[in-house]
Amino acid sequence: MTLDTLHDEALELQGDSVALRRALHERPEVGNDLPITRESVLESLDGLPLDLTLHETTSGISALLTGGKPGPTVLLRGDMDALPLHEDTGLDFGSRHDGQMHACGHDTHTAMLSSAAKLLSAHQDDIPGRVLFMFQPGEEGHHGAKYMLEEGLLDVPALADGTESPVTGAFALHITSTIPTGVVATKGGPILASADEFVIRVLGSGGHASAPFHAIDPVPIACEIVIALQTMITRRIDTFDPAVVTVGQIHAGTKNNIIPPVAEINGTIRTFSERTRSQVHDNLRRVAEKVAEAHGATAEPEIRYGYPVTSNNHEFAQFTLEAARDAIGYERVVPLPNPVMAAEDFSYVLNEVPGSMMFLGGTPPDRDPRTAPANHSNLVTFDEDAMSTGVELYAQMALRHLGVTA
């Protein structure tokens, strides 16, 4: 085995990668319970020298490859779940499950990781350590990685001779339709945001719309709170450690001539640091409560914690950039200039193990990356030619981290 052969070996597995990807795409599943997906993945891994663990709280699969030489363990992650979205791509292998779609490319991640398992298994005897393949459900807001960690994902048993083999690094790829095919990008430090939900209930007192002075109308108070939150962001949050607060829903009332007793505001908070995250939470509560109090009403803000900040280890991110340049060419590797305000539950893994996530370009050949439908769109499609690059990078990162240099 040499690192130079991995490109050709990944290309040889492209048929398997595409076949599994399309099978998963046709039968998407949402959340943490993915029985069809789990069975498809297990079939793809059948016959490989892997120690399999089927997680109980989710459909997660841990597959451990033990090399022929002692060494630490490296984790490779591929998420498996789809989105609750109707597909309108017109693909021949489009979703057969109405209202569910692989709109974020997790079908490609799973297929690439399965092929990487095949590629690395073929070189088992030459691997100085172990590779832990993490097939994860529930990334789309269901905390699948957290549940797998709580079940002991990182508790890798000692080798047969009693030597410890801890997980010392973690790597994940995420395909995107807005980067040219085969181009990869990452950065050290925060790469994706935390994502929390907030609900603010504004409690007034109802009445007839013709006599608002006999009521406490929560609707204009809710509107004032929304505006005050945007002012809070621009005036209280450090420009160089930014945050986004977006209100996505306001619910109130039943009829045009009734002042409702309650108005509800629902939105999201995105930040790139725990310091700013905590500051926004505190400020949001204070703004909501005090604006309501100024009008004789009461506000009940509730913050529902979502994913933490996804922060790449700086040294590991630099390692992945350099490894990718060596493997696929300098011109195809781009240092990401800024983090992205989307969120990821690979953040839970990176809070436990040094590692990094890298974006993999997959713009279809007939599309412009600047205008192609983006991830989470009902129209998004991905160039399957990018998948061989992903398989190669999974293998490259695992072997290089374990000390293979040639």
List the catalytic residues. 307, 384
Contact 356, 316 (CB under 8 A): yes
> What number of H helices and E strands is found in the chain?
10, 16
Nearest to 299 by CA among 199, 203, 197: 203
CB atoms within 10 A of CB 38: 20
CA distance 228 to 249: 16
3-state secondary structure of 194: strand
CA distance 75 to 117: 12
What residue ranges in 253-324 does DSSP mark as E strands? 258-259, 262-271, 298-307, 310-312
Contact 24, 397 (CB under 8 A): no
3-state secondary structure of 243: strand
- What is the pairing mode between strands 310-312 and 189-192? antiparallel
CB-based contacts of 65: which residues, under 8 Å, 6+ apart? 48, 49, 50, 117, 120, 121, 124, 127, 130, 131, 132, 133
- How far the first Cα of the chain sits from its last, in Å, is 8
